[in-house]
Amino acid sequence: MTEAPESLNFIEQIIEDDLKNELSTEQLRFRFPPEPNGYLHIGHAASICLNFGLGQKYNAPVNLRFDDTNPDKEEQEYVDAIKNDIEWLGFKWDTECYSSDYFQQLYDWAIALIKNDKAYADGQSSETIAEQKGTPTTPGVASPHRNQSVEENLEIFEKMKNGEFEAGRYVLRAKIDMASPNMLMRDPLLYRIINRAHHRTGSDWCIYPMYDWAHGESDYIEQVSHSLCTLEFKSHRELYDWFLDQIIDPEKLRPKQREFARRNLSYTVMSKRKLLELVQSKTVTDWDDPRMPTISGLRRRGYTPASIRKFSDLSGISKRDSVTDVSLLEFCIREDLNKTATRVMGVLDPVKLIITNYPEGKVEMLTAENNPEAENAGTHEIPFSRELYIEREDFKEEAGNKFFRLTIGNEVRLKSAYIIKGESVVQDTAGNITEIRCTCDLESRSGSGTEASTRKVKGTLHWVSVQHAIKAEVREYDRLFLDEAPDSHEDKDFMEFINPDSLKIIKTAYVEPFLQEAKLGDKFQFQRLGYFTLDKDTSADHLVFNKTVGLKDSWAKQKPEPAKQQSHPQNNQAQGQRSAINEIQKISKKYTNLSGAKLEAARADIAKLAENVSYEELEPLFNTAAKKVGTRIGVMISLGVLLKNGLERNAAIDAFIAAGLEDGNELLVAEAKGM
C-alpha cells in the first residue's frame, strides 16, 4: 500500500525532514489557532484540514487554541460557533486552549525581558511611535524612552498592570532594532492597555499581549512542534524566533513556524471583515446565509463535511496565491450526494398534465428507487393519478429532435410510472398554456415487466400528482458576486460586484408526499433538478428547501439562450481568435515529434498559414531559444514563404538562416539549406 511513492506537500516535506533529524514522532504536535472574532469559512477549512489531517497522519495531538488577546473584538458567541464547526467537519482536538490561559506566564516573561533590558515602557502616542518606525526604505529612530532604566520600566509596567493608566497612555515594547529591514523588528509592541472585560478573564487584566508576543510563546507552552499559518505571517517569523530566543529552555522543544498560501474561492470573498460587511449591510441574512462561504453557510446550503474535506484535499497546499474555481467545490458535493442522497420528485415551475385515458378518481401507488447508486437504499411509494404537475420547461408544442422532452405527438416516460404521448394543450386568453392533455400507454407501467414497460423512449420527466402534492418553498442560490475575484480590483469596491440575482425564492413548488417526513439536514436529489436539503426555516405546515447545487446539465449548454457569464471570457476569446502566426507556433511546437505524412502535412499547413504572416510578426521569433527547435523550424519555413513572395533579405534574416545551418537538428538544417 505504501508502494507508490506518495507525493508530499511542502509542509509534509518539512515534517519528514525534521523527523529524519532531531525530532521524534512523539514530539509532533499541531494546533489550529482561530481568533474568536468571526465565523469560520471555507478558507479556514483548509487550515483545519491541514492541521488536523497532519494530526491524523502522524497520530499526533492537535490543540484547538483560541487566540483571544483582544477583548475589543472577541466574544464567546464566536468561540461556541467555531467549536461547533470544527466538530461538524469531523475533527477532534486534543486540548481546548486559550491564549488567555497564559496571561500570567506571558506577564512573568515580560518582566524577565524588562530585567534583561530587552523591553521598555513607552509613553508616546501611537502616532508618534508610528512615525518613529520609519519606512521600509528608511530606518526608524529610537524612542526617547528606549534607554530608560530597568527600574523605571518595571515600575511603569507594574502600574500599567494595576490599571493606574487610561488606555493608550503606555505600551510595553521589545527592544530589538529600529533599523531592521523587517519593520516588525523595529521595537514591536508587547502589551497595550485595554480597559475592557475579557470574555474569559473578566476584569483580571487591563493589559493585553499583542499577537506576536502571545502566539509563539503559546506554541512553546503547549510544545507545538509545527506552527502553521498563512503567508502574510512570513515576516513575523523573524520576530517569532526572536521572542522564543528570549525565553526558551534548550531542554524543551522549540516550535517552528511555517507558512502556506491562503485559499481563495472564485466568485466570493474570504476575509472576515468583508463577510461581516455582507452581514451588517444585510446583503445576506446572516453568517449562515446559504450564499456565504462560511462553514455554517455551506452547512445550511446542504454541503456535507465529507465534501468540504475532499475539497481541501483536492485543492492541495502551496505557497503561491491562487483562486480555486467553485466548480471543484461543486464537484465534491455532487460526488458525495450522488452516492447518498435519496431520490425524490418535485416540480418547481408547475404546469398541469391531464392523462385523458387514465380513470378519474383512480390512485395507484408506484414504487420508486431511493438511490440507484446504492444497492441497499430501498424504495418508497409515490401516488399516481390522472392529474399531474410537470415542469413547464419540459414541454414544447413543437421542437427539434434534439429536444428529448414532451411535445405534441411524441412519447416520453414519466419517471417510475407510464409512457405518455402529448395530444393537445389548453391555453388561456393570453395564450399561456394552462393544461397539457396526453394519453398514456396503460401497459407501460414501470417495473411491470411488460414489453411496453421496457420500450425505449427518448426522454424521462419528473412529476407529482396534483391531489397528493405538498406545497413547499424552494430557495435557489447563485454565486454572490458576478466577478471571479471581487476583492482583487484596486479601483473598485468588492460590493460593486454583488450579484443581484443570487437568491431566487419559489414560493409554491410541489413535492411528493414522501417529503412530508423530511428532517432538518436530510439530503435529497430532486430528480433531474439537483440536490436539496431542508432549511431550518421549515415549520410544521411549511416546508422550506435549499438547493445545494444543481445536477450537471449538459443540455443547458446546448441551448444558446442563456448568455450566462462565462468563467474565462477573455481566454476563450483569445483562443477563438488565434492568429496565423500563433497557429504556426502551435503546429511548430510538436513538429520534431512528427514523421512521414504527418510531418509533410504539418509543413504544408505552416507554409499555407505563412501566406498570412507579416515579416514584423515573424522577426521577433528569430530570437527563439535554440532548444525550441520546432518553433525555429516553423519560423524558417514561414520565412521561406515570405522570401519567395518577394521579401528582401536583411542582416537579421541572414543571421537566422546562418544559425539554422549551424544547428544540430537535421530538419532545421535542411530547411535552412533550402533558403
Partner RNA sequence: UGCCCGAUGGUGUAACUGGCAACACGUCUGGUUUUGGUCCAGAAGAGUCUAGGUUCGAGCCCUAGUCGGGCAACCA
Which distant-in-sequence residues (6+ apart) come within 8 Å of 229 by Cβ?
A: 33, 257, 258, 259, 260
What burial class does residue 140 get, using C-beta atoms within 10 Å of its C-beta: 0-12 exposed, 13-18 middle, 19+ buried? buried
In the complex with RNA, which residue's Cβ is closer, 496 or 555? 555
H or E segment at 351?
A: strand 350-355
List, as own/partner pairs, every contact residues 309-314 make where C-beta atoms lie below 8 angstroms and the sequence separation is at least 24, other chains included: 309/45, 309/49, 309/89, 309/90, 310/335, 310/336, 311/42, 311/45, 312/45, 312/46, 312/48, 312/49, 312/50, 312/53, 313/49, 313/53
In the complex with RNA, which residue's Cβ is closer, 56 or 126? 126
In the complex with RNA, which residue's Cβ is closer, 289 or 346? 346
- Closest separation between CB of residue 249 and RNA, Å? 25
In the complex with RNA, which residue's Cβ is closer, 246 or 340? 340
CB 456 within 8 A of CB 270: no
CA distance 525 to 462: 12
In the complex with RNA, which residue's Cβ is closer, 456 or 507? 456
In the complex with RNA, which residue's Cβ is closer, 434 or 454? 454
Beta bridge mates, 407: none
**Helices 596-610/580-589 angle, 10° precision:** 160
- Closest separation between CB of residue 27 and RNA, Å? 21
In the complex with RNA, which residue's Cβ is closer, 96 or 321? 321
**Pick the catalytic residue: 175, 192, 200, 272?**
272
Q: What is the DSSP letter of 400?
A: -
**Pick the catalytic residue: 12, 35, 75, 369?**
35
With the C-alpha atoms ordered 9, 13, 15, 16, is the resulting torsion angle positive or negative?
A: positive
H or E segment at 422?
A: strand 419-427
**Pick the catalytic residue: 262, 392, 421, 589?**
262
CA distance 416 to 438: 17
H or E segment at 21?
A: none
Backbone angles phi, psi at 137, to 5 degrees: -105, -10
CA distance 568 to 230: 28
- Closest separation between CB of residue 160 and RNA, Å? 10
In the complex with RNA, which residue's Cβ is closer, 396 or 437? 396
- Closest separation between CB of residue 598 and RNA, Å? 12
In the complex with RNA, which residue's Cβ is closer, 304 or 525? 525
Alpha helical stretches, state H, 29-92: 42-58, 76-89
Please report where in the chains the cell 394552462 appears, as a residue.
434
- Closest separation between CB of residue 597 and RNA, Å? 16
Alpha helical stretches, state H, 316-426: 326-340
H or E segment at 302?
A: none
CB 627 within 8 A of CB 665: no
CA distance 493 to 288: 23
Identify residue 218 by its one-letter amino acid code. S
CA distance 655 to 26: 66
In the complex with RNA, which residue's Cβ is closer, 519 or 627? 627
- Closest separation between CB of residue 435 and RNA, Å? 22
**Residue 35 falls in the annotated catalytic set:** yes
- Closest separation between CB of residue 622 and RNA, Å? 10
In the complex with RNA, which residue's Cβ is closer, 213 or 289? 213
CB 377 within 8 A of CB 367: no
CB 347 within 8 A of CB 369: no
- Closest separation between CB of residue 395 and RNA, Å? 11
- Closest separation between CB of residue 430 and RNA, Å? 26
- Closest separation between CB of residue 542 and RNA, Å? 26
Backbone angles phi, psi at 230, to 5 degrees: -85, 165
- Closest separation between CB of residue 351 and RNA, Å? 16
The CA-atom distances, in angstroms, between 397 and each of 151, 227, 352, 405, 480 are 93, 65, 14, 10, 36
The CA-atom distances, in angstroms, between 80 and each of 66, 195, 359 are 11, 24, 58
Q: Output b/e per residue, 326-353; b: 16+ Cβ within 10 A.
A: beebbbbbbebbbeebbbbbbbbebbeb
**Helices 651-662/666-673 angle, 10° precision:** 140
CA distance 365 to 247: 76
Catalytically active residues are: 35, 262, 272
